């Protein structure tokens, strides 16, 4: 029985990617306890705000990567040409976005009560670097080279920790921490480019013919609504807390949210492997079995972590980010539960995206509307804000199950 499970292609790919993700998650979370002890609570809160901004803006890179992965898995010269052409257009769009961000960063700094507004400049550099890095990592993952994909993620996670420890001593702390993200991404890009023998100049090379991107743009919109909603769901709480509450309180909440997100990052690899494992031309029963395997793996991992949050919240908070944050340790099980719901949504959305089912669009928009209305009406306390996210997540899951019922899955 065990031998048959280990021989399963989906399980083997998941094991490789999962083991890499465990190391990445460990490095990512080592960043937070180290920074929480090196920075003041308010500075740590500002770093978390920039991390949330990085996650939210990475929605665009995620869309880009997912489209490129989809093209590379076609294993054709046309697919690779279209992927490169799409990368050129995406780099142009990201450059325009970054120019606008440079001019508008004082407005965002005031709105989010940020003292370190100058940290937007390394943030902009990170966005530019993310385009060639995203292309290289997408090519590797599209070729199902999960070992190299994991190594790229390890370079990013380990590099930002190493650079942050050094830079917060020599630069303004928040500025140095954000610089660490940009430098780590640059190192990861150099590694990935060497692996696939990729030259940056290829992003600027003309294909010599006009290529149609209509279907890729439609698929990109689908991915944007799906994974974009998921990313917004598990990261935007820190931004709203920073907007509605004082900096010190925001910093304390950010620490709790950082620990709770362990659930999402520990299970995100399953959705990443599920996406190229579901095929529209495969028998429905085969796709259904793959989906159930993914849900089982996610549930087992998430429920173990969530159980520990309920049983030992004070110990976990004190161990991971420090005793200053235990004042809100009772929030950990509640925030952890909402992150668990988001992790399950992430798996279902990966399944729908692989099948190009546009139900993801209306599920995301309806749930986002519920979330924003809830936040507008109920934001007087941390518990009220987290409850808004739980309600929106439950609405999304109800709509997902209605869709599955209609498909008779």
Q: What is the mean pLDDT of residues 371-393?
A: 91
- What pLDDT is recorded for position 103? 87
Q: What is d(CA 80, CA 239) in angstroms, rounded to the nearest whole number? A: 38
- What pLDDT is recorded for position 391? 94
The answer to whether the beta carbons of residues 58 and 94 sit under 8 Å apart is no
- Out of 55-64, 122-131, 135-144, 339-348, pick the least confident: 135-144
- Out of 202-211, 303-312, 346-355, pick the least confident: 202-211
Question: Which of the four pLDDT bands, split at 50, 70 and 90, describes residue 5?
Answer: very low
Q: What is d(CA 337, CA 302) in angstroms, rounded to the nearest whole number? A: 9
- What pLDDT is recorded for position 208? 45
Q: What is the mean pLDDT of residues 344-368?
A: 88
Lookup: tokens for 139: 């090519």
Question: Which of the four pLDDT bands, split at 50, 70 and 90, describes residue 278?
Answer: confident
Q: What is the mean pLDDT of residues 28-43?
A: 81
Question: Which of the four pLDDT bands, split at 50, 70 and 90, describes residue 6?
Answer: very low
- What pLDDT is recorded for position 339? 93
Q: What is the mean pLDDT of residues 342-366?
A: 88
Q: What is d(CA 13, CA 17) in angstroms, rounded to the nearest whole number? A: 6
- Length of the chain as a residue count: 409
The answer to whether the beta carbons of residues 65 and 136 sit under 8 Å apart is no
Q: Which position has the higher pLDDT, 305 or 13?
A: 305
Question: Which of the four pLDDT bands, split at 50, 70 and 90, describes residue 21?
Answer: low
What's the number of domains the chain is made of?
1
Does the pLDDT of residue 91 top 90, yes or no?
A: no
Q: What is the mean pLDDT of residues 299-327?
A: 87
Phi/psi of residue 408, nearest 5 degrees: 60, 40
> Burial of 296 by CB count in 10 Å (0-12 exposed, 13-18 middle, 19+ buried)?
exposed
Helices (H) and strands (E) in the chain, counts: 15, 0
Q: Which position has the higher pLDDT, 235 or 75?
A: 235
- What pLDDT is recorded for position 198? 58
Encode pLDDT of 152-174 as tens digits: 888 888 889 899 988 988 888 88
CA dihedral 46→49→50→52, nearest 10 degrees, is: 160
- What pLDDT is recorded for position 16? 58
Instruction: Give me the chain's average pLDDT, please.
Output: 81
Q: What is d(CA 315, CA 317) in angstroms, rounded to the nearest whole number? A: 6
* C-alpha closest to that of 35 among 178, 241, 177: 177
Does the pLDDT of residue 367 top 90, yes or no?
A: yes
Structural domain containing residue 259: 2-406
- Out of 127-141, 179-193, 231-245, 378-392, pick the least confident: 127-141
Does the pLDDT of residue 232 top 50, yes or no?
A: yes
Does the pLDDT of residue 392 top 90, yes or no?
A: yes
- What pLDDT is recorded for position 184? 92
Question: Which of the four pLDDT bands, split at 50, 70 and 90, describes residue 396?
Answer: very high
Share of the chain above pLDDT 90, in %: 15
Q: What is d(CA 152, CA 356) in angstroms, rounded to the nearest whole number? A: 27
CA dihedral (333, 334, 337, 339) positive or negative: negative
> Burial of 196 by CB count in 10 Å (0-12 exposed, 13-18 middle, 19+ buried)?
middle
Q: What is d(CA 212, CA 202) in angstroms, rounded to the nearest whole number? A: 19
Does the pLDDT of residue 12 top 70, yes or no?
A: no
Question: Which of the four pLDDT bands, split at 50, 70 and 90, describes residue 3?
Answer: low
| Rg, C-alpha atoms of the chain | 21
Does the pLDDT of residue 220 top 80, yes or no?
A: no
- What pLDDT is recorded for position 2? 47
Phi/psi of residue 106, nearest 5 degrees: -60, -35
Helices (H), 245-381: 247-260, 262-277, 284-311, 313-320, 332-354, 359-377
- What pLDDT is recorded for position 281? 67
Distance between terminal CA atoms of the chain? 26
- What pLDDT is recorded for position 200? 54
Q: What is d(CA 204, CA 202) in angstroms, rounded to the nearest whole number? A: 5
């Amino acid at each position: 029985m065990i031998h048959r499970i280990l021989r399963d292609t989906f399980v083997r790919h998941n094991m490789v990617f999962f083991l890499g993700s465990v190391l990445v998650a460990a490095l990512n979370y080592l960043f937070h306890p180290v920074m929480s002890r090196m920075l003041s609570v308010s500075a740590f809160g500002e770093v978390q705000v920039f991390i949330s901004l990085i996650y939210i803006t990475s929605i665009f890179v995620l869309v880009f990567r997912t489209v490129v992965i989809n093209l590379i898995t076609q294993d054709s010269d046309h697919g690779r040409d279209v992927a490169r052409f799409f990368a050129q257009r995406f780099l142009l769009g990201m450059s325009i976005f970054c120019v606008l961000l440079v001019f508008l960063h004082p407005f965002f700094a005031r709105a989010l009560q940020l003292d370190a507004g100058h940290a937007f400049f390394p943030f902009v550099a990170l966005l530019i670097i993310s385009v060639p890095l995203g292309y290289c990592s997408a090519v590797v993952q599209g070729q199902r080279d999960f070992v190299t994909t994991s190594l790229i993620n390890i370079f990013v996670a380990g590099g930002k920790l190493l650079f942050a420890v050094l830079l917060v001593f020599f630069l303004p702390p928040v500025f140095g921490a954000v610089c660490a993200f940009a430098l780590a991404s640059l190192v990861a890009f150099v590694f990935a480019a060497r692996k696939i023998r990729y030259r940056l100049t290829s992003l600027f090379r003309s294909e010599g013919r006009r290529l149609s991107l209509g279907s890729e743009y439609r698929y990109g919109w689908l991915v944007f609504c799906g994974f974009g909603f998921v990313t917004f769901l598990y990261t935007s709480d820190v931004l709203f807390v920073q907007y509605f509450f004082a900096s010190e309180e925001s910093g304390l909440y950010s620490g709790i949210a950082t620990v709770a997100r362990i659930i999402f990052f520990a299970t995100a690899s399953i959705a990443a492997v599920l996406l190229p494992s579901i095929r529209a031309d495969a028998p429905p029963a085969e796709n259904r079995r793959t989906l159930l395997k993914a849900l089982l793996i996610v549930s087992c991992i998430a429920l173990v972590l969530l159980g520990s949050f309920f049983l030992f919240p004070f110990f976990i908070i004190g161990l991971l980010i420090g005793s200053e944050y235990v004042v809100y340790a009772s929030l950990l099980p509640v925030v952890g539960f909402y992150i668990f719901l988001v992790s399950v949504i992430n798996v279902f959305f990966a399944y729908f995206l692989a099948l190009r089912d546009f139900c993801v669009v209306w599920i995301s928009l309806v749930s986002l509307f519920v979330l924003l209305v809830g936040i507008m009406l109920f934001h007087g306390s941390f518990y009220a804000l987290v409850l808004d996210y739980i309600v929106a997540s439950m609405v999304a899951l109800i709509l997902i199950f209605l869709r599955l019922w209609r498909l008779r899955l």
